[in-house]
Structure 1
Amino acid sequence: MNSPAPHIAGRSAAGAANAPPLGFREFVALIAGLMALTALGIDSMLPALPAIGEALGVASANERQYVITAFLIGFGVAQLVHGPLADRFGRKPILGLALAAYVIANVVAAFSGSFTLLLVARFVGGCAIAASRVVTVALVRDCYAGREMARVMSLAFIVFMAAPVIAPTFGQAVLLVGDWRVIFWGIAAVSAAILVWFWIRMPETQHPEDRLPLSPARLGSGYKLALTDRWSIGYTLASTALLGALYGYINSIQQILADTFHRADLLVPVFAATAGTMAVANLLNSSIVVRVGTRRISHTAVVVLILLAGAHLALAWAGFETLLTFAILQALMMACFGLATSNFGAMAMENMGHIAGTASSIQGFITVTGGALIGALIGQSFDGTTVPMYVGFFAAGLVALAIVAVAERGRLFRPT
């Protein structure tokens, strides 16, 4: 894997950052809101999976996980499309159209009369909202770079992580007064509100002279650069491994609480507690990353995650695991996950400023699609215990650390 040439088309390899188009707080809040739509589309489903299965004739608990997996695969695959389009036509029109399509997909899901139609609507919804991942990363990279980009992403993640806390609660509350279809109506309404906010307040962040043509040669060149720059591909693959473990957790958590610990009623508070530590970790990261550095923080976080996963796996194998130990260790692991992945994303984009949309698309395709497949494998391995999930976390941590070591040529924990 090679480093990019120091200058491309008269611009630095890192890419020049434009002035932010909004006040800092509103900019971060809007980015977080756009990102949170994905979490809302995933996590609000968790309490509803048994009800969806019962209503649409899906008896197998493992098959119900496809409601999550179909969304994630669409979310991953479509990122290959949104990035080049955003580099050619600008950030605003592509994201605006995608948000509108996401609203429509959730309306179709609300009307679904079969499991097949629901899965199709979920896949299409994932394809549409993929733009919120690709275009927001490119949008942030238009305005910030390096440690400042990591700071913005960490602050956005604090707000974004409210979605995993609120979404299952929202889903559970809906089931108390209505059926699972109302959840999709709620997602559509929130998405429409954020679409209006985005369209009114966010101007285009890409300069017209930075528009890139939709040509096979240009796309091939951009993909080649993103796939051969050692930081871009290294931190992308490391993120894929960690995201696979996270998706395995999301796929398995409802069954773990219901079948392993026989406390399905505690799904919402346990899931909220683990998501909350990710938000705290990102708050900490935003305050120290400029001073300490992305590498020291993220590399340390991966090492600690491996140790925690190993300890949890040993407890599960020995038969000493309780719901309390599960919640505590999982929460700590989620904090490490947050510290690692928010910085991995910034480092993967470090040399990609001039092709932010294209680079973000290929990186997102790899991390989300690969992570979804790994997560599906972990979820389908559920055997009534937490062992498959923590084998996944332990292996993912080791793989991520090995990949990072190669990308950094063995110089882990360095300050810059």
Structure 2
Amino acid sequence: MSVAPNSETRGLPYWELVTLIACLMALNSAAIDIFIPALQDIGSALGVGDENRRQLVITAYLLGFGAAQLVFGPLSDRFGRRAVLLGGLAVYIGASLIAIGSPSFEFLLALRAIQGIGAAATRVIAISVVRDCFGGRRMASVMSLVMMVFMAIPVIAPNIGQGIMLFGTWREIFVAIAIFSVGIAIWAFIRLPETLAPENRRELTAKRVFEAFRIVLTNRTAFGYTLATSLIFGVLFGFINQVEQIFTQIYGLGPSFTLIFSCTAVFMAIASFLNSRLVERFGMRRLSHGALFGFLGLALLHGVVAYALNGATPIWFFVPVITMNFCLFGFIGTNFNSLAMDPLGHVAGTASSVLGFMQTFGGGIFGAIIGYMYNGTIVPLLVGFCVLATGALVCALVADGGLFKARHRRGEGRREQPAE
């Protein structure tokens, strides 16, 4: 397909490029959140007695999704974005279709990991395409719009999953996500141009791959914010792992818990939209650092109150405070992601894969640990929030060499604008 060389969106209308990238990211969110209301039925159907073990349906996907990004990044820097994206979508679709007939829990987990492997290509390519086309605060603004859709999926996906469960079983959920992914694959095949300029293609040799990884891992800003992103996404995955048990067992809501979960996601999506409007005025660092301080303060307050009330706050307290936490999350994750990518435009594919691996694989492990600590109270969740948010704050400070540094950071690559 032809590429308009002087167009920052490579020949696509701006709105279509952003929408397509958002839909690619949405495949990942949907594959996680649509299964939240089905975990109990999956456990019952496949003989899983340990309730906390059901969370592996989420974790297996995240681990496959995180690990495979290390492969797709170098591949996309060598062969281009389109070929790698379409190959990954084919794996995602195939695993989704085979999983419909899963005879055992272990077989299902294996297919969920393979499904995550295929989805890894969509995440790497989505972020690489944005970095191919934009830089600096403009990149952060675009990523905020993309993340707004990504974060809006939890509003829809759990309720779609619950609706499917009313008329069918968890197996039909795999049918739904397969159909969705086929539609996205057709759209990308027809409309998405190649955004990697020929002069930026890197040879696929061990030496060049390790050199690209060295660039990513030795850039203090990139590596520090990558670790911070991993920790803060562990917060999100920990909440997703526990959310069904918290709402159904502690608060006794039953299937209707997806509506409250959706309300939380609505405010998180709104925050991401506001970030896209505010980031070009205030800068990524000020917004993300300020939001992280607020997140940590709320989590500490909530944890103290929950401990004082024998492990659980009233639902009228829990829901608003958790919602405020994830509103603040909307100002953290996107900006940290952009800050990590900003100095690495010349190795965007590999940079995206390293960031994605650490964010998803590392965040998935952190989230799994928090999820498995569930003990019938909300205290383990809030302790996890505090520990991971503190770690993310430390990593961000180390990455900057201070809190609010107003200097222009070029890192290893050229920027279009300063990231402040």
Q: Please state which band the TM-score falls in when normalised by the shorter chain.
A: over 0.9
Q: Map of 1:274-353 to 2, 5 A cutoff?
A: 274-319=264-309, 321-353=313-345
State the alpha-carbon separation in 1 of the partners of residues 168 and 258 from structure 2.
18
Q: Deviations over 1:328-383 (max 9, x none)?
A: 11111111111011011111011100000011111111111111111111001000
Partner of 1:5: none
SS of the aligned residue for 2:342 comes to: coil
State the alpha-carbon separation in 2 of the partners of residues 17 and 233 from structure 1.
31
Q: Would you say 1:154 and 2:162 are equivalent positions? A: no
Q: 2:93 aligns with which of 89, 100, 103?
A: 103
Partner of 2:184: 194
Structure 1 gaps, min length 5: 1-15
Q: Deviations over 1:269-301 (max 9, x none)?
A: 121111111111111111111111111100001
State the alpha-carbon separation in 2 of the partners of residues 312 and 133 from structure 1.
33
TM-score calculated relative to the size of structure 1: 0.94
Range moving further from structure 2, 314-323 or 343-352:
314-323
- Cα offset for 1:413? 6.6
- Cα offset for 1:100? 1.3
Q: Deviations over 1:83-129 (max 9, x none)?
A: 00000000001001111110111111111111111001000000110
State the alpha-carbon separation in 1 of the partners of residues 197 and 215 from structure 2.
21
What one-letter code is carried by the residue in structure 2 that aligns with 1:169? N
- Cα offset for 1:414? 4.3
Q: 1:375 aligns with which of 367, 371, 376?
A: 367
Q: Map of 1:195-214 to 2, 5 A cutoff?
A: 195-214=185-204
What one-letter code is carried by the residue in structure 2 that aligns with 1:26? E
Residue pair 1:300, 1:413 contacting (<8 A) in 2 also: no
Range moving further from structure 2, 273-282 or 33-42:
273-282
Over 4 Å off, 4+ runs? none
Residue pair 1:240, 1:366 contacting (<8 A) in 2 also: yes
Q: Identity over aligned residues, as a percent?
A: 44
Residue pair 1:18, 1:205 contacting (<8 A) in 2 also: no
Partner of 2:157: 167
Partner of 2:401: 409
- Cα offset for 1:150? 0.3
State the alpha-carbon separation in 1 of the partners of residues 231 and 19 from structure 2.
28
SS of the aligned residue for 2:100 comes to: helix
State the alpha-carbon separation in 2 of the partners of residues 260 and 334 from structure 1.
20
Q: 2:378 aligns with which of 377, 386, 393?
A: 386
Partner of 1:357: 349
- Cα offset for 1:209? 2.2
State the alpha-carbon separation in 1 of the partners of residues 214 and 14 from structure 2.
33
Q: 1:225 aligns with which of 194, 215, 231?
A: 215
State the alpha-carbon separation in 2 of the partners of residues 337 and 227 from structure 1.
25
Q: Would you say 1:215 and 2:205 are equivalent positions? A: yes
Partner of 2:32: 42
TM-score calculated relative to the size of structure 2: 0.93
Q: Deviations over 1:114-168 (max 9, x none)?
A: 1111001000000110111111111100000010000001011122222111100
Partner of 1:84: 74
Cα 1:220/1:173, change in 2 over 3 Å: same
Residue pair 1:74, 1:124 contacting (<8 A) in 2 also: yes
* Aligned-pair Cα RMSD in Å: 1.3
State the alpha-carbon separation in 2 of the partners of residues 269 and 220 from structure 1.
46
Q: 2:8 aligns with which of 19, 39, 47?
A: 19
What is the aligned length? 401
Residue pair 1:17, 1:141 contacting (<8 A) in 2 also: no
- Cα offset for 1:18? 6.1
SS of the aligned residue for 1:65 comes to: helix
State the alpha-carbon separation in 1 of the partners of residues 241 and 291 from structure 2.
23
SS of the aligned residue for 1:111 comes to: coil
State the alpha-carbon separation in 1 of the partners of residues 142 and 49 from structure 2.
44
